[in-house]
Amino acid sequence: MTAIGRAQHRPIKERPVILGEVLFDTFPDGSSVLGGAPFNVAWHLQGFGLNPLFISRVGNDSRGKQVQESMTDWGMDTAGVQLDPHYPTGLVEIALSNGQPDFTILPEQSYDHIEQHIAERLISATTIPLLYFGTLISRSAGSAQTLENIKSRSDKTFVDVNLRKECWTFDSVDRALKNATWAKLNDEELGVIAVHKHIPDADIAQCAQAVKDQYSVSHLIITQGADGAFIACGSQIIKTEPVKVGALVDAVGAGDAFSSVVMLGVLKQWSLANILERAVQFSAEICAIRGATTNNQELYKKYINHWGMNDCI
């Protein structure tokens, strides 16, 4: 299989690598929005000027072509996107209740079959300063093996835990979290994992510390929706308050927006307090638009200027 897109010969150098699914979120009204947590994170990082390398796989179909065109139009490198002749471009059906999404993730999609040798050839001459992946990519043996090999080449890892129905196992979550540099999960997912690890009932901060220690995670982020978020690091708990959403449209992709700013902050060496505050700010902004991403470059420029990152423009 070959990579697609006119940007495939751009030099890689040292830049963040995002591995995982790209798919279309379909809504009850028949509309669809390009997404997938890793794709959303890569899209935001491109908006912030970081030129990430996104590694995934799409079908040889109209949706796969749309992925290619959208990435190219946004200036993203398509060298890591493989073309699959057998499996379709990913699709997720979303139902909304009071703005909150419920996901049905279709099985046997192209992103479940990311080929290891193609991905490894692409990154063979580079150092990966930060690798992002979510737990969904480990639901299939092929993409899971590709992930394990790329993890061994990265300096730091960022794991986004998403316990989507019928798309995860405790074994895959254990592998993902073990020795992660950064990991993010919400308060409900923290509870599920705490029960799995036989952690006694405790307040949420103590629970997070225990999970962090059992998996040897350096920085464990817990998002709490309307209650904000916090990071467990060493013996510290760093917390930030929520930001009010002006006009909620939907919460699709809010967590991905949060993750992208955490990665941005890690690479820019922000303080933990700034990372949290800014991640919450940007995720609240995304809740005021339909879907998980936007091609409004002015939105990113606003934060680039506000956060003093003019070198990114």
Q: What is the DSSP string of 250-265?
A: --TTHHHHHHHHHHHH
Which of 172, 206, 173 shows the shortest CA–CA distance to 189?
Answer: 173
Q: What is the pLDDT of residue 68?
A: 97
In angstroms, the CA 117 to CA 143 distance is: 11
* Amino acid letter, 1: M
d(CA 108, CA 96): 24
- Encoded tokens for 118: 């193609």
In the chain, where are the structural domains located?
17-312
Q: Which CATH number fits domain 17-312: 3.40.50.720, 3.40.440.10, 3.30.360.10, 3.40.1190.20?
A: 3.40.1190.20
**Is residue 72 classed as helix, strand or coil in its secondary structure?**
helix
Distant-in-sequence, close-in-space partners of 138: CB < 8 Å, separation ≥ 6: 144, 147, 168, 172, 175, 176
For residue 114 the two structure tokens come to 């990311």
Q: According to the model, what pLDDT value does residue 3 have?
A: 39
Local confidence pLDDT in tens for the 313 residues of the chain: 333 333 333 444 578 999 999 999 888 888 888 999 999 999 999 999 999 999 999 999 999 999 999 999 999 999 999 999 999 999 998 887 776 778 789 999 999 999 999 999 999 877 899 999 999 999 999 999 999 999 988 989 999 999 988 899 999 999 999 999 999 999 999 999 999 999 988 899 999 999 999 999 999 999 998 889 999 999 999 999 888 877 777 777 889 999 999 999 999 999 999 999 999 999 999 887 877 889 999 999 999 999 998 766 5
Task: Look at residue 24 and give its three-state secondary structure.
Answer: strand
pLDDT of 1 reads: 39
CA distance 190 to 89: 31
Q: What is the pTM of this model?
A: 0.91
Cα–Cα dist 258/281, whole Å = 8
- Cβ pair 47, 300 in contact under 8 A: yes
